[in-house]
Amino acid sequence: MKTPYKNIYAVLKINRFIVLAVVICSVLSSFFAVWMVFNINKKVLNNAFAINTDGSIIPLKLVTQKENFKVEALAHLELFHNYFYNIDASNYEKNLEKALWLGNSSVDNLYRQKKADGVYNRLLQYSLIQKVVSIDSQVEEKNGVYTFKTVTVFEINRGSIIDTYELVSTGNLITVDRNFPNNPHGLLITNYFEKSLKKLNDEN
């Protein structure tokens, strides 16, 4: 008795179905694996871990890049305004040299203008002491451009007389390579402008 052979087309159809099913399952498995890796990587990047005293793991949420930038920007602005305006006859050259590292040509141009106007000569001639009292900065981001507005209050000690001034300055911030100790925050002030300066009433 002869063994009946199945129709060759039916066999090929079944084989093709099996191969197609295996390929679809493989593709779906690959997509799932990629999604799982991406999800795990995202969670790892957004979290850090610390070991508690009892050995347990404590998840620590990392701050976002923008929050980090704002902290760096505020510190950079405070450092610059302290160097540029907190000066006297003994330290003005050293402080101004440090301030020039934190800004671009707009800061250098302002420094040269003040020098040409005799600001630093008067500082030496009359032994004036210019002391920063407070620095309040606001940083905003729009379309990837960071702008700032800083209100600096400083006193000028003329010996028996102390005058208090409020300076409002504006500009932009861009990121550059860190250069310790000259530019520890890796930022540069551009388009720096002294917007207004007014003398405050003496409360004493």
What are the beta bridge partners of residue 189?
A: 103, 173
Task: Collapse the DSSP code of 199 into the 3-class scheme (helix H, G, I; strand E, B; otherwise coil) and give the result.
Answer: strand
Q: Give the DSSP H or E segment for 73.
A: helix 65-85
Residue pair 116/108 in contact by the 8 Å Cβ criterion: no
Token output for 115:
């020098």
Q: What is the pLDDT along the chain (204 residues), one digit of tens a residue?
A: 555 555 677 777 777 778 888 888 888 888 888 888 777 766 555 555 555 556 655 555 545 567 788 999 999 999 999 999 999 999 999 999 999 999 999 999 999 999 999 999 999 999 999 999 999 999 998 888 999 999 999 999 988 899 999 999 999 999 999 998 999 999 999 999 999 999 996 554
Q: Provide the pLDDT for residue 47.
A: 55
Q: Provide the pLDDT for residue 62.
A: 46
Give all strands of the β-sheet with 162-175 in edge-to-edge order. Answer: 87-88, 129-142, 145-157, 162-175, 187-200
Q: Provide the pLDDT for residue 23.
A: 84
Token output for 39:
């999800």
Q: Report d(CA 187, CA 176) in Å as an integer.
A: 5
What are the beta bridge partners of residue 147?
A: 140, 172
Q: Report d(CA 118, CA 58) in Å as an integer.
A: 59
Q: Report d(CA 75, CA 70) in Å as an integer.
A: 9
145: Cβ contacts below 8 Å, ≥ 6 apart? 172
Token output for 73:
């920007």
